[in-house]
């Protein structure tokens, strides 16, 4: 998904990124996903359920986008 998104961005904006630039952007995307998964991990131990955490993070992002930036899930 991220690779396709970067490709669409390059095509629509007429960018021509180098392989290193694309790799850097993908690394940043993966780091952000990891941070979100850690933030929304609900387990008390050191185990992170990435599927569950990514789903919660995606829901929260969608909720904030639809309801507004000032909204809170609490």
Structural tokens at position 35: 């941070």
φ, ψ at 71 (rounded to 5°): -75, 155
71 confidence band (pLDDT: 50, 70, 90): low
How big is the CA angle at 2 (ends 13 and 10), to the nearest 5 degrees? 15
In the predicted model, is pLDDT for residue 72 greater than 70?
A: no
CA separation for the pair 9, 26 (Å, rounded): 13
70 DSSP assignment: T
The per-residue pLDDT of the chain, averaged, comes to: 84
In the predicted model, is pLDDT for residue 1 greater than 70?
A: yes
Predicted structure pTM score? 0.69
26 confidence band (pLDDT: 50, 70, 90): very high
């Amino acid at each position: 998904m991220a690779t396709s998104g970067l490709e669409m961005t390059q095509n629509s904006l007429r960018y021509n990124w180098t392989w290193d630039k694309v790799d850097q952007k993908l690394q940043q995307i993966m780091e952000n996903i990891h941070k979100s998964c850690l933030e929304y991990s609900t387990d008390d131990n050191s185990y992170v359920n990435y599927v569950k955490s990514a789903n919660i993070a995606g829901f929260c992002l969608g909720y904030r986008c639809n309801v507004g930036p000032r909204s809170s899930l609490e």
